Copies of this chain bind each other. A is one copy, B any other.
Amino acid sequence: MENLSQDNQDLIKKFGAEPIDKLSNTPDFYSFKTGVVVSHRDFDKFFKAIKNKEKCAILSGVNASGTLHLGHKPVFDTNLFFQKKYNIPVFIPISDDESYVAGKVKDQKQALENSLKLAKQLLAYGFDPKKTYFIIDQIYTNIYNLAIKLSKKVNYSEIKATYGYKPEENIGLHFYPAVQSAHILFPQEKFNIPNVLVPIGPDEDAHIRISRDIASRAGYKKPAILHSKFLPGIDGKKMSKSKNNAIFLSDDEKTIRKKISKAFSGGQPSIEEHKKLGGNPKIDVSCIYLKNLFLPKEKYQEIESKYKKGELLSKDVKQMFADKAVEFIKQFQNNLKKISEKTVNNCILKND
């Protein structure tokens, strides 16, 4: 479990998640090969259901306060892989209500605007408008009927223990776990799809664990979970809004290349030393991104080997990373121009 955060390690050691590499049968997709998908709950059952052509869905939420960045890539790519390869629908709740009650946006209007923008970006990312459903809570307010149903199955003490909310925090925040559970159980409730996979970061497992408990209590099937690991920010530290250390899908080429030129490096202080001692790819942000997101295993291993031997300099791997990032983001930005408001609107669930 090299290179894993404490969160990811704890999930396996303390909270009963299963390591993905113990599975005999995993999808033929990069996120399962590079180690970016670390562990799971019931993924084996979900994958079997897919193979058996049972009704399946992916459910993968985003927050209305967020902007898409490269850190989202492995999860979205994994979702896309399932959508394309197995023709299964993807449900994307955009929790504009949580963004508001958690104080991540100024008001509900801003949360809604962000949500619409995100929906458009996600279609530009490649999600198929015919098989993608956005649940924007302010628009699809019927989600609350399911949230109310589920809210009866979980009490304040459990929420406090799981989320750590304090009594001085508002009651919207305290209620949100019911809405999140409603999102997760929505494909079952509304479309009678029993097999649902929820790909998440390691920090969200506690929230989804409680949703799985609620699912059982309310007579639904527990959704499966995939835990990915977090990619580091460009400075090698944990990605965070306050540190502004992500590469955003809205960045222009100049910004991307400038950010990557300053990326945390595993290289030596001087070129001479680097050629003699070689670089450390394990801490080199460019190597980490190339490995996890952009290069096939063999190709990466070749580069890693050269970097370790000092045959490739830090600026070389940065250049490779920057070229890949620019190519990917330019493609995204080109796609974005082609997505019409109508296409976006058609993918947003409406009250019936």
Give the B-binding residues of A (Cβ under 8 A): 97, 100-101, 103, 108, 137-138, 141-145, 148-149, 151-157, 159-160, 165-175, 177-178, 351
Contacts and interface: CB of A to CB of B under 8 A. Distances in A.
A178 B147 CA distance: 14
A208 to B, nearest CB: 17
Contacts of A142: 141, 351
25 contacts: A97-B148, A100-B152, A101-B151, A108-B149, A137-B144, A138-B145, A141-B142, A141-B143, A141-B144, A141-B145, A144-B144, A151-B170, A151-B172, A151-B173, A155-B168, A155-B169, A155-B171, A156-B156, A160-B167, A171-B174, A171-B178, A172-B178, A174-B174, A175-B175, A175-B178
Nearest to A142: B141
A101 B171 CA distance: 15
A157 B178 CA distance: 19
A163 B266 CA distance: 58
A18 to B, nearest CB: 30
A171 B144 contact: no
A167 B158 CA distance: 9
A175 B176 CA distance: 9
Contact of A165 (B138, B156, B159, B165): B156
A182 to B, nearest CB: 11
Nearest to A153: B170
A173 to B, nearest CB: 8
A154 B178 contact: no
Contacts of A97: 148
A141 B172 contact: no
A151 B100 CA distance: 10
Contacts of A178: 171-172, 175
Given A149-B108, A351-B351, A167 B172 contact: no
Given A138-B145, A141-B351, A142-B141, A152 B174 contact: no
A145 B100 CA distance: 11
Nearest to A101: B152
A152 B177 CA distance: 15
A155 B170 contact: yes
A173 B145 CA distance: 14
A172 B152 contact: yes
Residue of A142, A155, A169 with highest tally of chain B CB at under 10 A: A155
List 3 A-B pairs, minimum CB-CB distance, nearest first: A151-B172, A175-B175, A141-B141
